[in-house]
Amino acid sequence: MCSTKCFIIPPHILEELAKRGNSSCKKTLNDTARITEKRQTALNHLLQREHQESRGDRYIYDCKNTYQQRVELIIEEGGEFIKDETANEAYKTSGFVRDYFKNAFGLNSIDGNGLDIISNIHYGENYNNAYWDGDEMTYGDGDGKEFTDFASAIDVVAHELAHGVTQFLSNLEYQSQPGALNEHFSDVFGTVIKQKYLNQTVEEADWLIGDSVVTEEFPGVAIRSMKAPGTANEFDSQPDHMDNYYNGMADNQGVHINSGIPNKAFYLSCMELGLDDCALIWFQTLKALWRTANFNDMLETILATAQNLTEEGNVSERSVEVLSKSFSAVGIISIVV
Amino acid sequence: MRYRIEISGGFSGIPKTYEGRANIEKEQLEKIIHYLEENTNESNPDLRDGQQYSFQIEEGTQSHSALFTEKSLPTELRQLLEQLAHPN
């Protein structure tokens, strides 16, 4: 049992114990990193935080095309819709994501403790991005030329909120393979929630991420494809196999690039096991992972998670076999010691 | 003034580069150089899908460059980027 003594244990020992399934050491490892990170921005966050009650309430702020967050509160939980359709969509989609995590996994908002869900819309001018900053989401309107209205896209909203969920469950660091896994989990829940929102089957779904935020002028159909990584647009360099793994330094060592490899494994698994079984397996795996987990750790953890869920009768008996096959198909193979 | 501005990262992960020449008033140029030299490179370790902004400016024999995060990029440089990326 790992108690407060864990704080004097070196991180590499904590990591090894976490890999062997010691959940309290994993929690200590993740909490220690999070506390260290939080110290750096604590004052800023304290100054920004206005809502002390935590019920997973939604707050939509209009940035009024400035580069400031929380310029004007325009919708809050239970409030009426307004003329601004982007605001209404951001309210609806963030609620759908919150309710999905609650209903599917019993997770009470992003952090499991009812963290309020704060969305900033109309951020900047021609701002082609959406991000999670550790506390809240921020969405640009796009330049209207290649990108448009990030806040109205269910998969974008789910992707960003899932970054929050990851932060509180496993706190995967944002570089190299742990970072690619961080992006992977956001794409996983982005596509799962999109399919639920659109009431699609896995066969009907397009498995695209960000298809509704690109315009007709954009040279492609979406930002990413989980079914066929590397094919969503002219700039899409995502690999779908470890043979084409990106080893460069750009993009925090390829967090948006190498995520294509586990993304493809997720797609292959879903086509065999269905969306709900895979979503449960991936969610429980996210809870079991730790800050520095790499692709091989992911495989070991997901197989152990699937085995447990199978024994409990919660997922298909074929889960372990299908997952092994899917990860093997993208070149992530168990290392036998 | 010659400029080269690279945007990387972000939700899309698609890099974007703007480069060329621009006629900037002396007062604005001095402010730009000030921001490039005074860059604190403040970052937020919890930021996910944030963009990085690389600025390179050349004026005469002088060159200045700096890398900014979503958090550290000053509003004035965002406005310059907007002005150069969307001139109309």
Q: For B15-25, what is each residue's pLDDT tens digit?
A: 999 999 998 88
Reported in sequence order, the residue ranges of chain A that DSSP labels E, i.e. its strands, are 58-62, 72-76, 117-121, 130-132, 137-139, 208-209, 224-225
Q: Is residue A32 part of a domain?
A: yes
The reply to whether residue B51 touches residue A163, judged by beta carbons under 8 angstroms, is no
A12 and A120 housed in the same domain: no
Instruction: Provide the residue ranges of all domains of chain B, joining segments of one domain with +.
Output: 2-85
User: B51 vs A233: CB contact, 8 Å cut-off?
Assistant: no
* pLDDT of A253: 95
Mean residue pLDDT across chain A: 90
Question: Which chain A residue has its CA at the smallest distance from B77's CA?
Answer: A67
Cα dist. B8→A251, A267, B12, B55, B68 in Å?
7, 27, 9, 12, 11
- Alpha-helical runs (H) found in chain B: 26-37, 75-85
Q: Does A135 touch chain B (CB under 8 A)?
A: yes
In this structure, the answer to whether residues A120 and A214 fall within a common structural domain is no
**Into how many domains does chain A fold?**
3
| Pair (A207, A128) in one structural domain | no
SS3 B8: strand
Check residue A34 and give its pLDDT: 53
Q: What CA–CA distance (Å, rounded) separates A118 from A138?
A: 9
Residue ranges in chain A whose pLDDT is less than 50: 1-6, 39-44, 46, 51
Interface test with B, best of A30, A37, A67, A237 (most B CBs within 10 A): A67
- Say yes or no: A25 and A75 in one domain: no
A168 within some domain: no
d(CA A197, CA A274): 16
CATH number for the domain spanning A316: value is 1.10.390.10
A255 shares its domain with A295:
yes
Last residue in a domain, options A152, A185, A200? A152
Mutate to test the interface with A, among B5, B17, B49 (most CBs of A within 10 A): B49
Catalytic status, residue A183? no
Express each pLDDT in B4-15 by its tens digit: 999 999 999 999
Question: pLDDT by residue (tens digit) across B30-85?
Answer: 999 999 998 777 788 999 999 999 999 998 899 999 999 988 999 889 989 988 88
Task: With respect to residue A162, please indicate whether it lies within any of the assigned structural domains.
Answer: no
Q: Which of A99, A117, A152 is the last residue of a domain?
A: A152
Whether residue B11 and residue A129 make contact (CB cut-off 8 A), yes or no, is yes
Q: What is the CATH number of the domain that holds A112?
A: 3.10.170.10
Largest distance between two CA atoms of chain B: 39
What residue numbers bound the domain in which A38 lies?
1-47
Does residue A334 belong to any structural domain of this protein? no
